[in-house]
Amino acid sequence: MARKTIKVDYLARVEGEGALTVVIRNGAVADAQLRIFEPPRFFEAFLRGRAYGEAPDITARICGICPVAYQMSAVHAMEDVLGIKVGGQLRALRRLLYCGEWIESHTLHVYMLHAPDFLGYHGAVEMARDHADIVKRGLELKKIGNALMTIVGGREVHPVNVRVGGFYKAPRKRDLLAFAGELRRARDLALETVRWTAGLDFPDRTREYELVSLSHPDEYPMNEGRIVSNRGLDIDAREYDAHFEEIHVAHSNALQARIRERGHYLVGPLARFALNFDKLSPLCREAAHEAGIAPICTNPYQSIVVRAVEVLYACDEALRIVEDYEEPDQPFIAAEPRAGVGQAATEAPRGMIYHRYRLAEDGKIEDAVIIPPTSQNQASVEDDLKVLINGWIDLPEDELRHRCEQTVRNYDPCISCATHFLDLRVDRE
Amino acid sequence: MATRRKPKLAVWKFASCDGCQLSLLDCEDELLAIAGAVEIAYFAEATSAFVKGPYDLSLVEGSITTAHDAERIRNVRAKSKALVTIGACATAGGVQALRNFADVEAFTSVVYAHPEYISTLGTSTPIAAHVPVDFELRGCPIDKGQLIEVLSAFLAGRKPVTPAHSVCLDCKLKGNVCVTVAHGTPCIGPVTHAGCGAICPSYDRGCYGCFGPMETPNAAALSRELARHGMSRDQIHRVYRTFNTAAEPFREEAERHGS
């Protein structure tokens, strides 16, 4: 049979550089490989010899879109070594900062990276020519997320205010209260976003994943919780290594993660939502029901709706934190360095992220392991392409290529993290 | 009257975190106006529409860490009338330039099970080490106000106004109490390039130099002050050797405090 090759030199609207090869044989997808060739930057190597207090600033630079996820995971892991527990208003402020990042990062993906796939545009700027009100709503919402990060963290990209033990400076109560009006506005915009995304045209496709996320008894997970799955996993972050492993495959500069007993799994909004639906605020649960995705969504193309629901949650939660806020006596808990191993997992917008550090007695980092969400999802992306693309392989090449790209963008892949460039090759035999 | 062709803007990524190009998308109030004033011809993070060069203005994020990228930047330069680097990676090699002082093979084996799968250069170098650069915008990340200034200046055909004085001066203008004088907190604001808006001292912490060196810094004098406020030789070494480690005055000062 004739063999055919389709090539895309650069996957747009993702963060980082990657490539994709899809092999089609006898009318079915025979193989799919997501190759990540974002050049390696060696964070885990050069963290060695740095002081433990430098980790939040340095690891933030892994990703400009979700720096808070790295900062939060780093500070929790260091506090695990140092034996300190950050509670009360400092804990609430961390959650507030994370809310800002969820709003900013998810809104960027929903409006600027993913929606153009559904509405048939190259990007949000082109989309704005026909749908100015929609794009402006997205920009307004994203701006409020960024403003929240700036109030708590000092700036939106690589915040400066996060430190092990808490913050350099706690925000003033009056400043946070003055921001409540913006958050109410954001909540309205987020609710409109859920309704709008729910009305998009979705391919009728579902997948059975092992869904993995944090789970906390009292709240929708961000900074803390046990690592659970829909197939019975229920462990502390300290047991991560016993249950997960990373494989280095030849075609990628990012390591692929798997559950030792079972294999591939999915982290991110779909997993968080399915495993923690009952922890969402009533407003969010209602919106999700109205949108037709409650209490579990197994169509990865609808992840855009789940992200919108999580933005709504982050606005709702931020408002609650701001209204309950009292200035803490101290902006941070001081601690003396000591030797040991610390581990933590938190929920980045794209899914669970895990950090492990071994410190020497003087607090210098001896070893660092960082497992970002996109490397955990890499194998699932490949599985999705193998399964979901079937049924579309007779489409003209342009449309097939677009479906492949859309399928990858379902993940909001952050390839800079995992280690934009998707060089798509479709081999038809 | 004939309408003037809109200038073509391209945004390129090399080894980086995407944060500086994200700053363009973070200009929520100005983004659509910018898109009206220029033709966004190449910006992979934002659009899958790729318009061929030549480009009137190329914004370049990231540093050069592979042989392939060293070739690619020459190609970008060849099809760009003006080339502006955005951020510490493109301007000073970025945090990944820490490899320049280490054995990259050892680094690779720390991170990867199969080092033979990884192809990378031993160094991370700024764009200006490879091709001529028309303007360098500092910061890790860049400041979006400064980015808009660069774009406006380019459209108006003038030089961007981005003062090369220190963070220290901006901090005074902002009315901050000096964190070093009042609280004894070490701060490298006196030798760091302005542009961030003196954020760290405003949040009760010392500047950690993410905008790189100011014009003609006196780092040796500052190091004596840092030591007086309790920083060890090793801490001084590290504060200069982080996000702008390949920028000459910082590289030199870090080396003077090497072990």
Three-state secondary-structure class, residue A123: strand
- Please give the Cα distance from A307 to A279 (Å, whole number): 16
CB contact under 8 A, A64 and B49: no
Instruction: Name residue B56's amino acid.
Output: D
Sheet harboring B8-13: ordered strands across?
B39-43, B8-13, B55-61, B80-86, B135-137
- Please give the Cα distance from A221 to B153 (Å, whole number): 45
- Per-residue confidence (pLDDT) for residue B44, from 0 to 100: 86
CB contact under 8 A, A421 and B49: no
Indicate the pairing of strand A212-215 with strand A226-229.
antiparallel
Concatenating the DSSP letter of every residue in B31-54 gives: HHHHHHHSEEEEETTTBS----S-
Shortest alpha-carbon distance between residue B174 and chain A (Å): 15
* Among candidates A46, A63, A160 on the partner chain, residue whose Cβ is nearest the Cβ of B98: A46
Shortest alpha-carbon distance between residue B85 and chain A (Å): 17
B-chain CB neighbours of A11 within 8 Å are 44
Q: Which of residues 79-98 of B touch A (CB under 8 A)?
A: 94-96, 98
Here the CATH number for the domain that contains residue A71 is: 1.10.645.10
Please count the residue pairs, one from chain A and one from chain B, whose beta carbons lie less than 8 angstroms apart.
191
Domain count for chain A = 1
Residue A401, domain member (yes or no): no
In contact, B211 and B142? CB cutoff 8 Å: no
In contact, A373 and A353? CB cutoff 8 Å: yes
Please report, to the nearest 10 degrees, the dihedral formed by the alpha carbons of residues A359, A360, A364, A367 taken in order: -50
Closest CA to B93 of B58, B64, B59: B64
Is residue B35 scored above 80 in pLDDT? Answer: yes
Residue A357, domain member (yes or no): yes
Mean pLDDT of all residues in B95-115: 80
Concatenating the DSSP letter of every residue in A54-86 gives: GHHHHHHTT-SSSHHHHHHHHHHHHHHHHT---
In this prediction the ipTM stands at 0.95
CB contact under 8 A, A13 and B15: no
Sheet harboring A18-25: ordered strands across?
A4-8, A424-428, A18-25, A28-36
Single pTM value for the model: 0.95
pLDDT in tens, chain A (429 residues): 444 444 444 555 666 667 778 888 888 888 888 877 677 788 998 899 999 999 999 999 999 999 999 999 999 999 999 999 999 999 999 999 999 999 999 999 999 999 999 999 999 999 999 999 999 999 999 999 999 999 999 999 999 999 999 999 999 999 999 999 999 999 999 999 999 999 999 999 999 999 999 999 999 999 999 999 999 999 999 999 999 988 877 766 667 788 988 899 999 999 999 999 999 999 999 999 999 999 999 999 999 999 999 999 999 999 999 999 999 999 999 999 999 999 999 999 999 999 999 999 999 999 999 999 988 898 898 899 889 988 888 888 888 888 988 898 999 987 655 443 344 556 665
Is residue B61 scored above 60 in pLDDT? Answer: yes
Is residue B90 scored above 50 in pLDDT? Answer: yes
Shortest alpha-carbon distance between residue A332 and chain B (Å): 12
Residue A135, domain member (yes or no): yes
Residues in chain A: 429
**What spatial distance separates the first Cα and last Cα of chain B, rounded to whole Å?**
67
* Among candidates A122, A156, A167 on the partner chain, residue whose Cβ is nearest the Cβ of B48: A122
Residue A384, domain member (yes or no): no
Domain ranges, residue A356: 43-377
A-chain CB neighbours of B69 within 8 Å are 39
Mean pLDDT of all residues in B173-199: 97
In contact, A20 and A13? CB cutoff 8 Å: no
Residue B195 contacts A, CB cutoff 8 Å = no
Instruction: Identify the burial level of A208 via C-beta atoms within 10 angstroms of its C-beta, where 0-12 means exposed, 13-18 middle and 19 or more buried.
Output: exposed
Question: Both tokens of residue B120?
Answer: 């990378």
A-chain CB neighbours of B114 within 8 Å are 248, 250
Residue A232, domain member (yes or no): yes
- Per-residue confidence (pLDDT) for residue A414, from 0 to 100: 76
- Please give the Cα distance from B215 to B162 (Å, whole number): 12
Q: Which residue of B has its CA nearest to A417?
A: B17
Residue A54 contacts B, CB cutoff 8 Å = yes
| CA dihedral over B56, B61, B62, B66, signed as positive or negative | negative
Three-state secondary-structure class, residue A197: helix
Question: Both tokens of residue B58?
Answer: 């190329």
Is residue B136 scored above 80 in pLDDT? Answer: yes
- Please give the Cα distance from A92 to A327 (Å, whole number): 11
Strand intervals (E) in B53-118: 55-61, 80-86
Distances (CA, A) of A213 to A74, A223, A372, A420, B218: 18, 11, 13, 26, 50
- Per-residue confidence (pLDDT) for residue B117, from 0 to 100: 66
CB contact under 8 A, A40 and B49: no
Structural Rg of chain A based on CA atoms: 21
- Per-residue confidence (pLDDT) for residue A429, from 0 to 100: 56
- Please give the Cα distance from A38 to A381 (Å, whole number): 17
Closest CA to A221 of A212, A232, A230, A231: A212
Residue A396, domain member (yes or no): no
* Among candidates B17, B107, B235 on the partner chain, residue whose Cβ is nearest the Cβ of A42: B107
Q: Which residue of A has its CA nearest to B15?
A: A39
In contact, A93 and A152? CB cutoff 8 Å: yes
CB contact under 8 A, B18 and A14: no
Instruction: Identify the burial level of A55 via C-beta atoms within 10 angstroms of its C-beta, where 0-12 means exposed, 13-18 middle and 19 or more buried.
Output: buried
Residue A176, domain member (yes or no): yes
Instruction: Name residue B163's amino acid.
Output: P
What residues contact residue A260 under an 8 Å CB cut-off, 6+ apart? A242, A243, A244, A245
Structural domains present in chain B? 8-156 (3.40.50.700), 167-256 (no CATH)
Q: Which of residues 291-350 of A touch B (CB under 8 A)?
A: 331
A-chain CB neighbours of B50 within 8 Å are 10, 12
Residue B123 contacts A, CB cutoff 8 Å = no
Q: Which residue of A has its CA nearest to B116?
A: A250
Residue A420, domain member (yes or no): no
